[in-house]
A and B are shown apart, each in its own frame.
Chain A
Amino acid sequence: MRGADLLGLPVVGPGGEDLGRVLDVRLVQDGPILGAFAALRIEGLVVGRRALAARLGYDRYDAQGPWLVAAGVARLTRGTRYLPWADLQLTDGEVRSQVADLGPVPKIA
């Protein structure tokens, strides 16, 4: 599997409702050791509708300037949600969430 196979996939809820698309993949560095580092293991998916705005990263950091850009991007990405890997199933061409109400994206410290 490649990163591109996940990014952009449609995400649906338990009843088949449209939740958006995969905008990013959250990785945590606690997998098996590969060379000098622990592997980057998937922890969950960032799900939403505004891929370009989300790509700027303002929905992932707590406070980052300038205010104008931060406020604009926050407005565009306010529907962005987090889907933990444990709560999803990968089916053919889509991601099926086992929960209907997704939580907010945990900020990166």
Chain B
Amino acid sequence: MKVVLKVFLGILTAIGGFVDIGDLVANAVVGARFGLSLAWVVVIGVVGICLFADMSGRVAAVTGRGTFDLVRERLGPRAGLANLVASTFVTFLTLAAEVGGVALALELATSVSYLLFVPLVAFLVWFVIWRMPFEKMEQAFGLAGLALLAFAVALWQLGPDWSELLRQATHPSVPDGEGHPTYLFYAVSLFGAAMTPYEVFFFSSGAVEEGWSRKDLRTERLNVYLGFPLGGLLSLAIAACATLVLLPQGIGVDHLDQVALPVVLSLGKVGLAFLIVGFVAATFGAALETALSTGYSLSQYLGWQWGKRTAPREAARFHAVVLISVVLGAMLILTTLDPVKVTEYSLVFSAVALPLTYLPILVVANDPDYMGESVNGRVVNALASVYLVLLTVVAFAAIPLMIATKAGQ
């Protein structure tokens, strides 16, 4: 019974933990502009993140090593460093966006400018990392993030023509008045939202933090292969809400208010209350994960002691890096750079940075010297190869598409 409960809790945590500021913004923006015609990207992205998380989690459980240990071992110190700089830049940008997201959610609740909340949010992010045990931290924010299910309830309350929604989702086409490049640019953003590099750094390092071994692999697979797709469904509910409410009225999304609007219209104040809890939990949880991820990546590349298992003094440089990145992330948002814009850029750069860590992990997951019996099977490898090609194409296309469409304008 205890095992069942643990598995159940893990799946719930994975659902709540799946959605962050990137998913909130990208799905609402896309829903309001393209309806469900880009839903296929979410599906492809979710399969991709399942595959990537499964491989990196398995590697972490078998070898006890996090992602950037292996990136450096496979690519050498120079290419490894270039990789570290690029990946950490993207993770840092995401951290800033998440901190801004928490502050925006608090603005939504109080009508006090989000900028005033930024220092407080940054302090709390650091404080939780400093004091709260790892598993409790992960569960608390993952479960509270389930309040975002308000989107699913709102969708049901809106009473849509389900067959029409399904038709839109299964017959992708570029809506009238939108160019192909713009459509593809948003496809890249949505893909970057579903597959963000930090999720993998955090997932694999978290596996090491929780002391996973080979015998935990089944639980890991259940969490990934059930939790993430359900999280993906939640993302689609956000897009569907925007499709039903914002698209017909021509309301574009450039703030968290508009993301919340469909829920407010169908569920009123109670819905908004749930949504704000969900926004705060999801973005705060992701802020913790990204802040830890910057520390994980740098420490693993340089071979420092890292993690929350021990007292902070035992992993001094790791905790110093986490603290500094939280402070810098808050400072970036305090420059009054729009957090929603920061989010949109972080998604594009996520898509660019993905293959950098995907390839080394794929190689190590196939190396019997590391993995013994637990190397990738044929099916996983076939799928992983398709994604290698896909990720590479997306990475090369992302920046040109961003320039050509002026970031989707």
Contacts and interface: CB of A to CB of B under 8 A. Distances in A.
Contacts of B75: 52, 55
Contacts of B385: 66-69
Nearest to A51: B76
A36 B75 CA distance: 30
B74 A66 contact: no
A64 to B, nearest CB: 5
Interface string A68-80: 1100000000000
B384 A57 contact: no
Contacts of A66: 362, 366, 376, 381-382, 384-385, 388
Interface size grouping (class) on chain A: 10 to 19
A52 B72 CA distance: 11
Given A64-B368, A65-B375, A66-B381, A57 B363 contact: yes
Contacts of B376: 65-66
A56 B359 CA distance: 10
Contact of A56 (B363, B368, B381, B384): B363
B76 A64 contact: no
B384 A55 contact: no
SS class of chain B's interface: helix, strand, loop or mixed?
Answer: helix
Contact of B367 (A52, A55, A64, A68): A64
Interface in A10-43: none
Interface string B355-381: 000010011001110000001101001
Contacts of A52: 75-76, 79
A55 B76 contact: yes
A72 to B, nearest CB: 9
B17 to A, nearest CB: 29
A69 to B, nearest CB: 6
A22 B368 CA distance: 25
Contacts of A68: 385, 388-389
A65 B366 CA distance: 6
A64 B366 contact: yes
A65 B377 CA distance: 9
B257 to A, nearest CB: 46
A65 B75 CA distance: 17
B74 A56 contact: yes
A105 B135 CA distance: 47
Interface in A45-60: 51-52, 55-57
Contacts of B362: 66, 69
Nearest to B383: A66
B76 A65 contact: no
Nearest to A60: B369
Contacts of B382: 66
A65 B381 contact: yes
Interface in B44-97: 74-76, 79
A87 to B, nearest CB: 26
Interface of B: 74-76, 79, 359, 362-363, 366-368, 375-376, 378, 381-382, 384-385, 388-389
Given A64-B368, A69-B362, 17 more contacts: A55-B74, A55-B75, A56-B74, A56-B363, A57-B74, A57-B367, A61-B367, A64-B366, A65-B375, A65-B381, A66-B376, A66-B381, A66-B384, A66-B385, A68-B385, A69-B366, A69-B385
8 contacts: A52-B75, A52-B79, A55-B75, A64-B368, A66-B382, A69-B362, A69-B363, A69-B388
